[in-house]
Amino acid sequence: MKANSTTSVSVRGLALSYGAVQVLKALDLDIADGEFLVLLGPSGCGKSTLLNCIAGLLEPSHGQVFIKGKNVTWEEPKDRGIGMVFQSYALYPQMTVERNLSFGLRVSGLAKDEIEKRVKRVGDMLQLGDLLQRKPSALSGGQRQRVAIGRALVREVDVFLFDEPLSNLDAKLRAELRVEIKRLHQRLANTMIYVTHDQIEAMTLADRIAVMKGGTIQQLDAPQTIYNKPKNLYVAGFIGSPSMNFLKGKIEGAGAKAVFHLGGQKIPLKDYVPDAPLKAGAAVLGVRPEHIQLDMAATKANSDAYKAVVDLVEPMGSDSLVWLKIDDTLFSARVESNQHFDPGQKVDVRFRINLASVFDEATGDRL
Amino acid sequence: MSHTTAIGIVPTGPKPKKLISVERVIVYSVLLLCAVFFLFPLYIMVITSLKDIEAIRSGNIFIPTMTPTFSAWGKAWNSACTGLYCEGIKVGFWNSVRITFPSTIVSIAIASITGYSLANWPFKFSEAFFTVLLVSSFIPYVVMLYPLVLITRWLGIYSTLPAVVLVHTIFGLPILTLLFRNYFASLPQELFKAARVDGAGYWRIFFQVFVPMSAPIFTVAVILQITGIWNDFLFGVIYAGPTNYPMTVQLNNIVNSVQGGKEYNVDMAATILTGIVPLAIYFFSGKYFVRGIAAGAVKG
Ligand SMILES: Nc1ncnc2c1ncn2[C@@H]1O[C@H](COP(=O)(O)OP(=O)(O)OP(=O)(O)O)[C@@H](O)[C@H]1O
Ligand SMILES: [Mg+2]
């Protein structure tokens, strides 16, 4: 099979196991030219393994890897046209920054003046100019990470692989470098595959996010789609902080007349745009805290509101998270911090059903 | 307000240490005892080697002479007699140098490369190979002495310098390979991956990335090998042949050869001369040795 010419990297049926442990399971992935793809998933789900397979640092048990339409499954890492940035920086400790940057170029036997030119350009781009003669041990974490990025950049390749490049840095530096990486991508327009388990990084950087779990890709979509229309309970629960509420109940009726039963209350689903036709049965209603509106318990009978009791309030600065109970179901709602609620108070709850997700309880798939 | 102690001193800066505490007393007494135990014989040797034979016969063994002389040292070095000839311990010294240097260099070169292969380039049977290596480092040498005699004889090098160098190299390999493998395995794997992405191959990664950051473990290996080989007696006496006897064997021959009266001062001087090389190495590199051992144990 030949990969499409506008795809930059494509992975076909890739599997990898260590003995009996299957780390990657028949994975397919196509990444367009110039795309910023983020691999997102919990620790141990195989993100680094996938990246290492693409880089040629691990041999897959099955499957193929194409880069720029060429089958590189058996190629050496250096011949694949990739640059890689590692989580632990992995700078050569005994070489100066300049020699770290130029190592790969010297290996490939590039002319001296060309090496100098490239190192200078990358040094300027990443503001490493003053640091070129220092050893890595004399750099701060952020500077080291910039050198590591620079070492990938000087190779002037089509595909960059990042394995959690920012996870060793503190929150502020991470935010700064995140912006730098985004800017870099806009400027270079290279294909980038970026591993992280930080969902903010994923949301802000990605053109598309691949959410992984246990060696498979659960959903591959644009960040907004993943956020708004998660394909299954796993993705829904993984993306978003504070995380989505899952209200267990059952659907009665079908199609536009479907109603979700939660405790003793009925929530009509006529505003919900289903992927699969709704039918009666056990289901889970997924609502993000920001898609729940609260009102002080009104005296007038509100037809479209539901009664809940405030359980706990978590102030978070710009807004507050209010934990509520309908019968025994606990869920949270995000409100502006100037709205004040007390535990035990009765409130009216309105779910924005058009923004919610309904999942089949048995399969976990979105309906 | 700052707190004050019972006697009204405000605690600030480093806490004052008690001058004498039980732990200190115990630690220092043990150290002192050990030092005396090991230094006392050395003391006797040094003062005896500085006496002339008259002073030894008439004087007390514990009391240094008032008229020290280095003549015994000169004799030990230049003209002390083994059973056969009287050219002093210097012959043995140079033999030991000729044995130690090639053995050390060759064994470390092979072991470091093998260790690097085992740690970073796993092949089909690398785990099995490693296990064999591990087990073989526990086999008593004695078991292999005679087979090695036969092998070296078959190779036509028995009783020559190459034979003893070969034997030292072989016996050094298991433990050294272990040492290097563990050290290289403790280096960050991502460094190795980064070098591969940069296009470096087997040798370039070894020489340009790993060796420069392995000074501690090379130091340990060099010290282990030099002192071990220098102190060796058994292999020297078996495989080297009389013309290549190392210093330890020659020392034994000098001390045990009976020609006229026993010259204790010469024997003592020759013994000190023999021991001085490992002693000096420990003395000057002890710091690096400890550092290297520690670097191998925890993450480099
Ligand atoms: N050499 C190995 N032998 C056996 N299992 C391994 C080996 N290397 C990795 N694994 C397993 O493969 C799985 C995937 O590992 P991988 O490093 O790809 O996870 P990851 O998604 O990158 O996690 P993290 O976010 O923590 O970096 C893990 O469950 C891990 O235990
Ligand atoms: Mg990882």
Distance B121 CA to ligand 1 centre (A): 19
Q: Residue length, chain B?
A: 300
Protein residue closest via CA to atom 24 of ligand 1: A43
Ligand having the closest approach to the CA of B122: 1
CATH 2.30.22.10 for domain A7-237: no
Residue A90 to residue B188, Cβ atoms within 8 A: yes
- How far apart CA A134 and CA A138 sit, in angstroms, is 6
- With residue A101 as reference, give the H or E element that holds it: helix A97-107
Question: Across the 367 residues of chain A, what is the mean pLDDT of every consecutive 10-residue run?
Answer: 66 91 92 94 91 93 92 91 91 93 93 93 88 91 90 90 88 86 89 91 93 92 93 91 89 83 82 82 90 75 74 88 87 88 87 89 87
Partner-chain contact B188 A84, CB within 8 Å: no
Helices B215-231, B247-256: crossing angle, 10 deg rounding = 30
Better-scored residue on pLDDT, B39 or A328: B39
Q: Where are the domains of chain B?
A: 22-69, 90-297
Taking the C-alpha atoms of residue B170 and residue B141, their distance in angstroms, rounded to an integer, is 11
d(CA A73, CA A53): 9
pLDDT at A109: 92
Best mutation target among B120, B186, B197 (most A Cβ atoms within 10 Å) is: B197
- Nearest chain A CA: its distance from B123 CA (Å): 13
For domain A242-360, the question of CATH label 2.40.50.140 is answered with yes
Residue nearest to atom 18 of ligand 1 (CA): A46
A299 to chain B, minimum CA–CA distance in Å?
57
The chain A residue lying nearest B190, using CA atoms, is A90
- Report which protein residue has its CA nearest ligand 1's atom 1: A18
pLDDT tens, residue by residue, B100-141: 999 999 999 999 999 999 999 988 888 898 898 888 888 888
B73-to-A349, B18, B38, B174, B240 alpha-carbon distances in Å: 101, 48, 22, 38, 26
CA distance B214 to B220: 10
Q: Is the Cβ pair B197, A84 closer than 8 Å?
A: yes
The whole-chain average pLDDT of chain B stands at: 87
B58-to-B65, B67, B225 alpha-carbon distances in Å: 11, 14, 42
Cα B232 from Cα B100, distance rounded (Å): 10
Residues A199, A32: Cα–Cα separation, whole Å: 22
Class of domain B90-297: mainly alpha
Q: CA angle A23-A28-A29, nearest 5°?
A: 110
* Residue of chain B minimizing CA distance to A163: B190
Q: How far is the CA of A48 from the centre of ligand 2 (A)?
A: 4
- Closest ligand to residue A18's CA: 1
CB nearest A88 (choices: B188, B199, B212): B188
Residue B292 clears pLDDT 70, i.e. is over it: no
CB contact under 8 A, A84 and B199: no
Fill in the DSSP letter of residue A15.
Answer: E
Q: What are phi and psi of A136, to 5 degrees?
A: -55, -35
Rounded distance between C-alpha atoms, residue B237 and residue B241, angstroms: 7
Q: In chain A, list all ranges with CATH 3.40.50.300.
A: 7-237
Q: Are A360 and A287 in contact (CB under 8 A)?
A: no
Q: Which residues line ligand 1 (CB under 6 A)?
A: A 18, 21, 23, 41, 43-49, 197
Q: Which residues of chain B are within 8 Å of residue A84 when distances are taken between CB atoms? A: 193-194, 197
Q: How far apart are CA A226 and CA A238, in angstroms?
A: 10
User: How many A from CA of A168 to the centre of ligand 2?
Assistant: 12
To the nearest 5 percent, what fractions of chain B are helix, strand and coil? 70, 0, 30
Among A129-143, A295-309, B19-33, B206-220, which is the least confidently predicted range? A295-309
Task: Give the chain A residue whose CA is nearest to the CA of B215.
Answer: A94
The first and second tokens of residue A109, run together, are 């036997």
DSSP assignments along A46-68, one per residue: SHHHHHHHHHTSS--SEEEEEET
- Kindly list the distances between the CA atom of residue B184 and the CA atoms of B192, B206, B222, B295, in Å, as whole numbers in the listed order: 10, 10, 17, 11
Gap from A102 CA to chain B (nearest CA, Å)? 9
Q: What is the pTM of this model?
A: 0.83
How far A343 CA sits from the closest chain B CA (Å)?
41
Please name which of A337, A308, A332, A300 lies closest in space to residue A320, comparing C-alpha atoms: A337
Within 10 angstroms of residue A122's Cβ, the number of other Cβ atoms is 22
Rounded CA-CA distance A12/A73 in Å is 10
Ligand 1 atom with the smallest distance to the CA of A42 is 25
- Whether A272 and A358 have beta carbons less than 8 Å apart is answered as yes
- Token digits for A359? 């999942």
Give the pLDDT confidence score for residue A270 in this predicted structure.
Answer: 82
Task: Compute the nearest-CA separation of A90 from chain B (Å).
Answer: 5
* Percent of chain B residues topping a pLDDT of 90: 51
Runs of H (alpha helix) within A154-232: 171-188, 199-205, 223-228
Mean pLDDT of B21-33: 91
Contact A336, A269 (CB under 8 A): no
Nearest ligand (C-alpha, residue A20):
1
Cis amide linkage into residue B188, ω under 30° from 0: no
What's A244's DSSP letter?
P
Whose CA is closest to atom 28 on ligand 1?
Answer: A44
Residues of chain A with CATH 2.40.50.140: 242-360
In B, what residues contact A, Cβ < 8 A?
188, 190-191, 193-200, 204, 208-209, 212-213
| Ligand 1 nearest atom to the CA of residue A50, by list position | 18
How buried is residue B175: exposed, middle or buried, by Cβ count under 10 Å (0-12/13-18/19+)?
A: buried
Secondary structure of B175-240 in HEC code, one letter for each residue? HHHHHHHHHHHHCCHHHHHHHHHCCCCHHHHHHHHHHHHCHHHHHHHHHHHHHHHHHCCHHHHHHH
Residue B293 predicted with pLDDT over 70: no
Q: Please judge whether A57 and B194 are an interchain contact, meaning their C-beta atoms are less than 8 angstroms apart.
A: no
- A347 or B163, greater pLDDT: B163
Quickly count: other Cβ atoms within 10 Å of residue A267's Cβ: 22
Whether pLDDT at B223 is above 80: yes
Please list every residue in chain A whose beta carbon sits closer than 8 Å to the beta carbon of residue B208.
Answer: 92, 103
Pocket test for ligand 1, best of A23, A194, A213 (most atoms within 8 A of CB): A23
d(CA A235, CA A365): 10
Q: Which own/partner contact pairs does A269-273 have at CB distance under 8 Å and 24+ positions apart?
A: A269/A353, A269/A358, A270/A353, A271/A353, A271/A354, A272/A353, A272/A354, A272/A356, A272/A358, A273/A354
Instruction: Find the closest chain B residue to A105 by CA distance.
Output: B198
> Which 3 state secondary structure label does DSSP give B264?
helix
* Chains A–B, number of C-beta pairs less than 8 Å apart: 61
Tokens representing residue B157 in the block: 């090098």
Spacing, Cα A193 to ligand 1 middle (Å): 18
Contact A90 B194 (CB under 8 A): yes
Closest CA–CA distance from residue B88 to any residue of chain A (Å): 47
Ligand 1 atom closest to A215 (CA): 14
Interface test with A, best of B120, B198, B206, B213 (most A CBs within 10 A): B198
Of the candidates A284, A288, A287, which has an alpha carbon nearest to the alpha carbon of residue A359?
A284
Residue nearest to atom 14 of ligand 1 (CA): A46
